[in-house]
A and B are shown apart, each in its own frame.
Chain A
Amino acid sequence: MDDGIEQHLAAGRHARAFDLLVPAYRDRVFRLSYSILKDRAAAEDAAQETLVRVWKALPGFDGRAALGTWIYAITRNTCLMELRRRRPQVSFDDPDSAEAQHAAESIATGPAEDPERDNLLRLLETLPRNQQEAVRLFYLEDRSYEAVAGQLGMPLGTVKNLLHRARKRLMELARPDEVKAA
């Protein structure tokens, strides 16, 4: 898929390369942004910003990294800047942080038709940030470990471990009464 894009890039046809790149990457850039920002509108803005940055930087792309790796790195940076802009003092690794509380509240204020679903999402907010991101992205990417590893810029084994720990913990948290009874 990237071959055609890279051929255009090598030939200096950046606008043509960008035209091919957008449909190939925009959804994945959006999903990666959503897994980090946890907000659809913010993720869409971040995807826009990422692709504009890609467009500006495309003439300088030297091909040392794979195109996807490069684009996902720009996406992650864009999202981290957005997180910093929102709350400069917050530690996002702390599940008790104001950000985590805010996110949990925003879920609680959503449609209360499915308390079990709300509870599951609230429990997800209690996990460390990197586990949350991996879990969100994993299900957005049709359970592809490779896609998650590529987009988060992590080795495959690390992603498998993150997902394993996260889901095992969630499963335990989702049935505390049963565990206590045991």
Chain B
Amino acid sequence: MNDPTLMGPCADYEHDLVELTDGALPRERAGIVQAHLAQCARCKAWTDAFAAFDARLATALPQPVLSPQFDARLRERIATLSRPATRGELRARLEHEHDDLIGTLARAARRRAVLGAAGSVAASLCVLVAMRDVLAQHAAQLQAVAGGAWVLPGALGALVVVGALAWSARAGTLPLLGFSR
């Protein structure tokens, strides 16, 4: 309970005490801190404990070193990169780049087509819904004019429009909807 290391150092000196232990405190400040240490049992006990802990930690941590083959391995890699590529390597590299490019283009085209088709179907449905309301309002008038014969051709016409829009979007030729890049 009375162990001064457990109470911690004086708050004003804590950071300085750590830097003093690390040997990183400027000389002028180090003198002031050491004078404080000489008269403060709490700070002295805490600093001693910290220094002991610091030494334990330094010993505990691994100190890995590079393997002796490191330089030779690096030189070999650099040499491989420096020498001109053979025809076979150049061809393989070009083929790889070509495949990558084709793959990227195909993915972009698929994405555009799906978005375009979905967008055009949604737009067509919106148009149909809007038309339905208008038609419902004027149904009596239209029936009087055309005797109901307009319903079938009208529905077929709407289907053709939706189909055309979807096909057009799938083919990537519907830039007006803003889905194409």
Please give the residue numbers on chain A whose beta carbons come within 8 Å of chain B beta carbons, in ascending order. Answer: 18, 22, 26-27, 30-31, 34, 40, 43-44, 47-48, 51-52, 55-56, 114, 116-117, 120-121, 124, 135-136, 139-140, 143, 145, 160, 163-164, 167, 170-171, 174, 178-179, 181-182
Contact = CB atoms under 8 A, between A and B. Distances in A.
Given A167-B53, A171-B50, A52 B19 contact: no
B66 A27 contact: yes
B156 interface: no
Contacts, number: 84
7 contacts: A26-B70, A26-B71, A52-B74, A52-B78, A120-B57, A121-B61, A164-B14
A179 B6 contact: yes
Contacts of A140: 61, 63
Contacts of B54: 167
A18 B50 CA distance: 42
B22 interface: yes
Contacts of B23: 143
Instruction: Tell me whether chain A's interface is mostly helix, strand or loop, or mixed.
Output: helix
A135 B61 CA distance: 9
Using C-beta atoms within 8 Å of the partner chain, give the interface range for chain B: 20 to 34
Nearest to A119: B60
Given A48-B74, A164-B15, A171 B61 contact: no
B88 interface: no
